[in-house]
Structure 1
Amino acid sequence: MAENRLQTPAPNAGAVPFSRPSTPATHTLQIGFCGLGAMGYFMARNLASSRKSHSLPVLVYNRSVAKSQKLLAEVGASAVKVADSLEQVATECDVIFTNLANDAVVSSIYNEFAKALAQSPPTRAKIFVEMSTVYPTLAGDLDRLLSSNPHTHLVTSPIFGPPALADAGKLVIAMSGDYRSKKEVAFLLVPAVGRKVIDLGGNVEKAPTLKLIGNGMIMGANELLAETLTFGEKSGIGQQTVYELIKEVMPSPGFIFYGNKMVNDLFDGSQGFAIDGGIKDANHARRLSAELNCPMPAVDNAFRSLIGARAMYQAQGLAGTQRWDVLDWSALIASSRVAAGLNPFDSAQGTGVVRDD
């Protein structure tokens, strides 16, 4: 009987490349989450909901308190508590997740964490989990900043997937850093937040590097997708017909997801990935490729298209004709459309494809 139990696969076997951590004997983990943006909100919500019945409420912090209050209203006080300050999160929590907009914000937040820890040094293990898309060397800087405090570790853990997958708890999670800390974090995140962890070892710069590689692949694929759909429209075949072909011969989730956005002009960045974030990631990927002497022309092309699309949208803002507050990075198709003589953001004002039946 005991032998059969030993042979039974553990829950999420294969999704988490670590053995399960030992159960804390002295206290229940206090979890904190900073950054409730398009991705962070869903991750914090799912994490809090998964722990609602058997642990302390997740302590959440966001620069805009309204988002914290919205999350509290959605999941209830038994799952979420709103933090008054970053100092409270840093000192009261055992595991602190951060998902922030860019490197400058990450640096600012972590400097505030470090200041709080210097004033109140930890007496037990404390793990910071940085989930943003940052330049890899920043991760090393954060690790050095935090490691001056006793019992403190950094795990870099960027995530792959659009907001819809964050909502569904189906993200793919990269992870690098201290092994024991990764074990603790991985079993908090899977299956609550993500479906799989990819372990990149002990060097905290490796997970952010994989994130840039992955985002570079996605933006390069989006550039190809944009050019292909525009080519189809200008040829008289029609972008919808080309999109149907793509779904048949190259049915990857990314092509299907972003192709649908492009074909239907779904460029609301508040429901997706803001174009400024895409430009930031493209800059990081291009910088890293230059440092490694590894050309990425697909990323270079996507970067130009993203810059062009943003410039056109800013011009619409000056004219008072903008349709969305934030532009999605799938709107890079605007550059291909304009180069082909089409309307950048409204495909209904295209070539007026007429079938030759």
Structure 2
Amino acid sequence: MAEHTNLSTPSFGFVGLGNMGSVMSQNLADYAQKEGFPKVKIWNRSRSKSEQLATEGFFEISDTLEDLARRCNIIHACLANDEVALSVYRQILDVAKPGIVLVDHSTLYPDISTTLRAEAIAEGSSFLSCPVFGPPAAAKSANLLVVLSGDGNARSLLKKYVVPTLGRAMIDCGDDTRKGALLKILGNSCILGTIELLSESFTLAEKTGFDAELFYEFIQQWFPAPAWMNYGKKIRDGAFSGTTGFTIPGGMKDASYIRRLGVETSTPTPTIDQAWSHLTTAKALGGDSLDWSSCSAGMRVTAGLPPFKGEDFTLAKR
């Protein structure tokens, strides 16, 4: 198989240092340092993020994406959308040596994942779909749920370190990268659906005069799942800062993927359709920087309540 399966000394790269990537790359750097591997090479479109990370961990900044591609044999990436992913991975494959392993932690549409896998194979390399579930706080503590699919030998290589370096557990979806990408979208459908349901329930509680604190206590006792407790708390408090979470544009991108899959398979997606509408309202009222749980603002407006709790609008952005 490809040369990467025999690598004795991985040389890691990490591309995309947003809320998730910056934390995941730190865990990868800690692992590399502990194992005596070279420093993790990092590249980000905004160099300032790379410079900040380089002062805090076992990193080396690459001036260009092409330089990183030439110096690494395993490259992890966490990218904003399909267009960015296509551009970044194609630039890497243009200059990298055969046998490189590309590990994608982004949320990509399944067709894009399939395309990138085929292009990597054509260059004698591997592309793995490796999306993760969990917010930045879970990424920091390596408590993510990792999904993995792609070439079997490359998957075996990843399994040697991804858990517990990046996550607490892994779901192996097999050789077809489309499966990994699909699971990420299906999982995000469940999460966004949970946010929509919580928005409805907290709004109904407020309209009926029921204590939000008491309702949240019920959620903690009866639905002790991370998504329920994390987003329930945000909606209860009206605390929608996107600086440490998942912002509205990302939520709308994921919702569009879910709805597109529904159209392509003649499958209704009524809950996500409603969430899309509420995300649109929240974006119009609060801008792109809010967490996607701020879609509860759309539900509140529909019910005749102020979109955000408190008279000071800035409270919604904290």
TM-score range, shorter chain: over 0.9
Change (3 A) 1:138 1:306: same
Aligned residue in 2 for 1:110 = 89
Aligned residue in 1 for 2:69 = 90
Q: What pairs with 1:177-192 in structure 2 (closer than 5 Å)?
A: 177-192=150-165
Give 1:306 shift: 0.9
Q: What pairs with 1:222-301 in structure 2 (closer than 5 Å)?
A: 222-301=195-274
Question: For each residue in 1:48-92, what CA deviation from the matched residue of structure 2 results, as whole angstroms up to 9, or x when unmatched?
Answer: 0122131111111111111111111111xxx21111111112121
Question: For each residue in 1:298-330, what CA deviation from the matched residue of structure 2 results, as whole angstroms up to 9, or x when unmatched?
Answer: 11111111111111224xxxxxxxxxx711001
1:264–1:347 CA contact under 8 A, matched in 2: no
Give 1:107 shift: 1.2
1:139 aligns with 2:113: yes
Aligned residue in 2 for 1:58 = 40
Aligned residue in 1 for 2:298 = 335
1:149 aligns with 2:123: yes
2:110–2:182 CA contact under 8 A, matched in 1: yes
Structure 2 counterpart of 1:188, which letter? Y
Give 1:348 shift: 6.7
Give 1:229 shift: 0.3
Q: What pairs with 1:40-51 in structure 2 (closer than 5 Å)?
A: 40-51=21-32
* SS class of match (1:267): coil
Give the whole-Å Cα distance in 2 for the aligned partners of 1:337 and 1:135: 31
1:220–1:301 CA contact under 8 A, matched in 2: no
Structure 2 counterpart of 1:40, which letter? G
Give 1:257 shift: 0.5
Give 1:47 shift: 0.7
Structure 1 counterpart of 2:306, which letter? N
2:5–2:154 CA contact under 8 A, matched in 1: no
1:72 aligns with 2:54: yes
Give 1:185 shift: 1.4
TM-score w.r.t. the length of structure 2 is 0.93
Give the whole-Å Cα distance in 2 for the aligned partners of 1:275 and 1:291: 24
Aligned residue in 1 for 2:315 = none
Give the whole-Å Cα distance in 1 for the aligned partners of 2:310 and 2:253: 27
Report sequence identity in percent.
37
Give 1:203 shift: 0.7
Give the whole-Å Cα distance in 1 for the aligned partners of 2:188 and 2:289: 20
TM-score w.r.t. the length of structure 1 is 0.83
Give 1:114 shift: 2.6
Question: For each residue in 1:124-168, what CA deviation from the matched residue of structure 2 results, as whole angstroms up to 9, or x when unmatched?
Answer: x31011110010000111112222213x11111000001110011
Aligned residue in 2 for 1:7 = none
2:262–2:268 CA contact under 8 A, matched in 1: yes
1:326 aligns with 2:305: no
Question: For each residue in 1:266-291, what CA deviation from the matched residue of structure 2 results, as whole angstroms up to 9, or x when unmatched?
Answer: 11111110110000000001111221
For the aligned residue pairs, the C-alpha RMSD in angstroms reads 1.7
Structure 2 counterpart of 1:346, which letter? K
Q: How many residues align?
A: 308
* SS class of match (1:251): coil
Give the whole-Å Cα distance in 2 for the aligned partners of 1:92 and 1:23: 17
Which structure carries more helix by proportion? 2
Aligned residue in 2 for 1:352 = none
Structure 1 counterpart of 2:94, which letter? K
Change (3 A) 1:348 1:236: farther
Give the whole-Å Cα distance in 1 for the aligned partners of 2:275 and 2:304: 19
Give the whole-Å Cα distance in 2 for the aligned partners of 1:187 and 1:290: 39
Structure 2 counterpart of 1:91, which letter? R
Aligned residue in 2 for 1:197 = 170
* Greater gyration radius: 1
Structure 2 counterpart of 1:142, which letter? L
Give the whole-Å Cα distance in 2 for the aligned partners of 1:129 and 1:255: 29
Q: Which aligned segments of 4 or more residues in structure 1 are displaced greater than 3 angstroms?
A: 21-24
Structure 1 counterpart of 2:192, which letter? M
1:81 aligns with 2:60: yes
Change (3 A) 1:311 1:348: closer
Give the whole-Å Cα distance in 2 for the aligned partners of 1:106 and 1:293: 28
Structure 2 counterpart of 1:328, which letter? D
Counterpart among 216, 227, 235 of residue 189 in structure 2: 216
Give the whole-Å Cα distance in 2 for the aligned partners of 1:188 and 1:88: 25
